[in-house]
Amino acid sequence: MKRTFSIFAPLLAALLGIAAPAMAQEIKFKSLQQDSSLPVDVASDSLSVDQTSGIAIFDGNVIVTQGAMTIKSAKARVQNSADGSGIEKLFFDGGVTFASETEAAEANEAVYTIASGEVVMTGDVLLTQGPTTIAGQKLVYDLQKGTGTMQGRVQTTFVPKSGVAP
For 136-158, what is each residue's pLDDT tens digit?
999 998 888 888 899 998 998 87
- Cα–Cα distance between 112 and 40 in angstroms, integer? 11
Q: Nearest-5° angle of CA 59, CA 61, CA 62?
A: 70
* 25-157, CATH topology level: lipopolysaccharide transport protein A fold (2.60.450)
Domain positions in the chain are 25-157
pLDDT, tens only, 4-41:
333 333 332 333 344 434 433 356 655 556 677 788 89
Structure pTM? 0.76
